[in-house]
Chain A
Amino acid sequence: MSAEHDFLVIGSGAGGGAAAWRLATLGHRVTVIEAGPVFDPALDYRLADADWEQPFPKKPGSTGPYDVAPLQPLTQETADIRSWNAQNGPYVTGDRRQSFGYHHVRGVGGSSLHFTGEAHRMHPRSLRMASDFGVAADWPMDYAALEPYWSLAEATVGVAGPDEDRRCPRSGPYPQTAHPLSYASRVLARGVESLGARWQQNALAVLSSPTEDRPNCNHCGGCLRGCPLTDKGSIDVTYLRQAVATGRCDVLPGVEALQIQTDGQRVTGVLVASRQGQQVLTAGVVIVACGAIQTPRLLLNSADAHSPDGLCNESGQVGRNFMETLLTTSSALHPERLGSHRGLPVDWVSWDWNAPDAIPGVIGGCRFGPAMAESDLVGPVAYATRVVPGWGRAHKRAMRESFGRVLSIAGLGESLPHPASRISLSDRTDPHGLPVPRIHSYLDDMAIARLRFMTETCRAILSAAGCGPVFEEFSSVDAFSSTHVFGTCRMGRSPDDSVTDAYGRSHRWRNLMIADASLFPSSGGGESPGLTIQALALRGVDHLLETP
């Protein structure tokens, strides 16, 4: 491993991959270090095997360490919106909110490897939460400043989207034609229409037409288990593949950043660990893209005489403002056979409640969409253990009568900063002796009101679609279960209350840039963050090159 680098990117997910691509395609040499392993789509995503109904594969080192601080007590007021299954009872049996985990992939491509491909822009008004609603913080740029970078990201990963996007202004059409809805999704969409709401085809980084090096999707619905065809625009088969093809980008898996080093004036390099042991990689510029859990951990673990409270933490905001995935799902059987195990996981979306003031009496929006795949209700094992009760001949008959009839709907909502939600360093250490990150999560009354609206709307949509009684629900109200995490190195205009400037560069350490969702001042109303992370990284690199 070479010891000297012009641009050193830590992390190869949405932000790190996009930053490396921008640098390499503009003629710069860049090295990406990734703590996790490489996943080979053809070998590792075994969706052609009989036992395909498995979660995303795990490999040595493919998850990062963390722990979760004790969560808040549950109250009687949320008893009717908690997580449960008709067969198995409540998912949370204790008297406190329970952790179901921070769901991520540590590997080349990051958590894009297990995402559904959703490629969303932010609602323009969700960038002004402090000015307009007195919560969170404003983004230090407006929608127009990000628009060209969202467009560039959409073109690079190959986003298929609708002809008309009612929510977000666009400078041009989506690069690819939107995917058609599955038969079951159309039935579910009629439920939304019955409530007087609208839906539109989802914007997905999933190819509807083949490109030079990637085929079109065949709608197997297995995106969350890894895409063996590579039609899904995960970072490894898009940005990183193209960056490496320039001959100017090296991607080094199995190399973990332990501490970022400085000389008091500038960042000078990164202490890393690999199978070869520990060494310091010097770098002209360091780009940190480890996600909203591990990035603050790396900065806090990099405290030294020059930065006794942690690197980039002059404002005291590193680790603060943690925002999580606020999710509810409801599932029920439809009376007709729908073949609901077929098709893309989230082929439509209803944005009607996405604006920050769209939910009556609540600040912060949400959105709804199909969730058969995200609820993992698309295979016979799930039906046998979670849908069909009992056993014996009756169970077998019911399996044949029920399979393909489940409809599931999800709501994802805004998560706002709260002083009790943050990332700190744990007392527990990793094999290198460094503290692991500790997640503190707290839901305030507004978050619970938002979750209640989401659950009640999910139930109403299922009922309007003609479903029978709900048999399963899952909710963040009693379960911390996050895929999207945000906000722990907030960007802003002032060094007093933010970690970086509007381009992700540390206010103090100008050759350190952050490129992940830790930058988000607010989470948006349920948008998937991947595309915006890419846009911020692309914009940050351009600024870095223009203003070294």
Chain B
Amino acid sequence: MTSGKMSRRVFTRALGVVPVVIAHAPQAEAQSRILTEMLATVVDVIVPGDETPAASDLGIHVRLIDQARRIPNYPALLSEGLGWLEQRARTDHGLPFLQLSMDRKEALFALAFDAAPQSLPHVFARRVRDDALTAYYRDARAWGGLGFDQPIQPAGYPDHQDPPA
């Protein structure tokens, strides 16, 4: 449901809500590195580590960047959405997003998620949340504790008549 191309109408409306400035890195390579680090942090806000790995431990942020390259408007959404987080971090806390405590990072992501429907921060947070969770739970290393520990084949469910173990 989240793998299709983004609606241009929705995306351009979202961009119009909040003007964004991406980080102050002078060179594209440095900027790309910062975006990657920020996205790794954001996916870990969505899926932090505990007894199963954090999202970035599974490279989910890298998969999202790869996925974004194949979907029109998605790279721009990532860039602008991360820019929005950076801008709010500096405005609200006087620090770059990456230097905030985890609590503050989580609070800023919640602010984006709860923003008005169709606004840039909301569209960004919603999309990254869904795509990060999708990529994470398509990885068998994420399944610990679910009562589900292998793909549905080749074993199937010979125990399907019984209460779950």
Using a CB–CB distance below 8 Å, which chain A residues touch chain B?
47-53, 180-183, 217-222, 228-229, 337-339, 341-343, 378-381, 383-385, 391-393, 395-396, 399-400, 403-404
Q: Across the interface, which residues of A come within 8 angstroms of B47, CB to CB? A: 391-392, 395-396
Some 29 contacts from A to B, beta carbons below 8 A apart, are: A47-B153, A48-B154, A51-B138, A183-B163, A183-B164, A218-B153, A218-B154, A218-B158, A220-B153, A229-B153, A338-B163, A339-B162, A342-B157, A343-B160, A379-B137, A380-B148, A383-B137, A384-B134, A384-B136, A384-B137, A385-B2, A391-B45, A391-B113, A391-B133, A392-B106, A395-B46, A396-B47, A403-B146, A404-B146
Using a CB–CB distance below 8 Å, which chain B residues touch chain A?
1-2, 45-48, 50, 52, 106, 109, 113, 129-130, 133-134, 136-140, 142-143, 145-148, 151-164
Q: Across the interface, which residues of A come within 8 angstroms of B130, CB to CB? A: 385
Inter-subunit contact B156/A393 (CB<8 Å): no
Inter-subunit contact A404/B2 (CB<8 Å): no
Q: Across the interface, which residues of A come within 8 angstroms of B113, CB to CB? A: 391
Q: Across the interface, which residues of B come within 8 angstroms of A396, CB to CB? A: 47-48, 50, 52
Inter-subunit contact B133/A180 (CB<8 Å): no
Known interface pairs A384-B133, A392-B106. Does A50 touch B45 (Cβ–Cβ under 8 Å)?
A: no
Chain B's nearest CB lies how many Å from the CB of A258? 30
Inter-subunit contact B106/A182 (CB<8 Å): no
Inter-subunit contact B147/A404 (CB<8 Å): yes
CA distance A489 to B110 in the complex (A): 55
Inter-subunit contact B143/A380 (CB<8 Å): yes
CA distance A228 to B154 in the complex (A): 9
Inter-subunit contact B133/A381 (CB<8 Å): yes
Q: Across the interface, which residues of A come within 8 angstroms of B1, CB to CB? A: 385
CA distance A15 to B137 in the complex (A): 39
Known interface pairs A384-B134, A403-B147. Does A222 touch B152 (Cβ–Cβ under 8 Å)?
A: yes
The closest CB in chain A to the CB of B164 belongs to A339
Chain B's nearest CB lies how many Å from the CB of A153? 26
| Contact of B161 (CB < 8 Å), options: A51, A180, A385 | A180
CA distance A228 to B152 in the complex (A): 11
Q: Across the interface, which residues of A come within 8 angstroms of B134, CB to CB? A: 381, 384-385
CA distance A52 to B153 in the complex (A): 9
Q: Across the interface, which residues of A come within 8 angstroms of B2, CB to CB? A: 385
| Contact of A222 (CB < 8 Å), options: B46, B50, B153 | B153
Chain A's nearest CB lies how many Å from the CB of B38? 16
Chain A's nearest CB lies how many Å from the CB of B109? 8
